[in-house]
Amino acid sequence: MKKINVYVLSGFLGSGKTTLLREFISYEKNAGRLPAVLMNELGSVSIDSDAIDKGTPFTEMLDGCICCTIQEKLEAQLQELLFNYSFDTLIIETTGAAHPVEVVDSIMSPLFADRFDFKGIVTIVDALRWKKRADLSPQVLHLLREQIKHASLILLNKVDLINEMESGTFVFEMQQLNAEAKVLLTKHSQINFVELDNLERIENKKYEPSQLNKNLSLQSMVYTFHRPIELEEFEDWLKSMPDTIFRLKGYILFQHSSLPYSFQYSYGMPIYLKEEMKMPLNLVIIGEGLNKDRIRKELGALEK
């Protein structure tokens, strides 16, 4: 039986993993291969699954964060996929808060290691976040470095938001952390996917997941809107948010429109896209040491 090629997409919250995933799925299909997707999301409601078209085998692990049971859950998901579908490529999008090596350990489980050919970890780095990394807590910075260190291919993404000199410096910094991986400069995670055919697995690098998990206090919450809100008031709220809120995504209904907007926010960049149908008005919020009561109160006040 031909083995299934497995790729792990890693990278911090909002770096561009789902953007890459979408293109990767199309590339595989155009090459005549059937891809399957396993998504591991930090939030307890699904937002990114909209990126996957209906014909693609797909399984999702919600709230699958950095807890000690991640491997068990992942193994169950992998088994479910293998049992229910036949496919040629498996793309695993890890939560931005995950250590990619933990995910790789699950793929290597004796339960099905013979079915998989693990190709490597692709790590996407948000260039703007890297530029401002001094603002991050030591734990988050450590996670970012680990994601870079264990990659077979590194995409320094969002280069439209930095200048050329910064790009050069950052590539050098990535290479200092990981001399074996190739570093590509990308916009919207656009790459020549032939790069992925030539990936070489990088192994035997030390990592200490238990220590990482213990100290990292990333949390997520979901706020469900019941009424439309004012765009301007929402933007004021965004500006008042602490820097430790890293990522927002979901659907919001504004007073000026009868249909909701999909909303994405990472590193100071809000993006609104109008939807064509009604969506559940859930907003996923991810950050370090979230003050959930306060956030609920503030968003609640926008609904009045």
Ligand X SMILES: Nc1nc2c(ncn2[C@@H]2O[C@H](COP(=O)(O)OP(=O)(O)OP(=O)(O)O)[C@@H](O)[C@H]2O)c(=O)[nH]1
Contacting positions for ligand X (CB under 6 A): 11, 13-19, 48, 96, 157-158, 160-161, 187-189, 247, 249, 264, 266, 271
Q: Which is nearer to ligand X, 33 or 187 (CB)?
A: 187
By residue count, the chain amounts to 304
Residue 62 C-beta: closest distance to ligand X, Å: 12
Residue 220 C-beta: closest distance to ligand X, Å: 10
* Dist. CA 268–CA 243, nearest whole Å: 9
Residue 216 C-beta: closest distance to ligand X, Å: 15
Q: Which is nearer to ligand X, 160 or 236 (CB)?
A: 160
Q: Which is nearer to ligand X, 51 or 79 (CB)?
A: 51
Residue 12 C-beta: closest distance to ligand X, Å: 7
Q: Which is nearer to ligand X, 9 or 82 (CB)?
A: 9
Closest C-alpha to 144, from 154, 158, 156, 130: 130
Encode burial over 116-131: b for 16+ CB neighbours within 10 A, e otherwise. Answer: bebbbbbbbbbbbbbb
Q: Which is nearer to ligand X, 286 or 299 (CB)?
A: 286
Residue 249 C-beta: closest distance to ligand X, Å: 6
CA atoms within 13 A on the CB side of 89: 22
Beta carbons of 165 and 185 less than 8 angstroms apart: no
The DSSP 8-state label assigned to residue 179 in this structure reads: S
The DSSP 8-state label assigned to residue 2 in this structure reads: P
Beta carbons of 220 and 13 less than 8 angstroms apart: no
Beta carbons of 267 and 129 less than 8 angstroms apart: yes
Q: Which is nearer to ligand X, 82 or 254 (CB)?
A: 254
* Dist. CA 217–CA 238, nearest whole Å: 21
Residue 188 C-beta: closest distance to ligand X, Å: 4
Two tokens at 82?
Answer: 């293998």
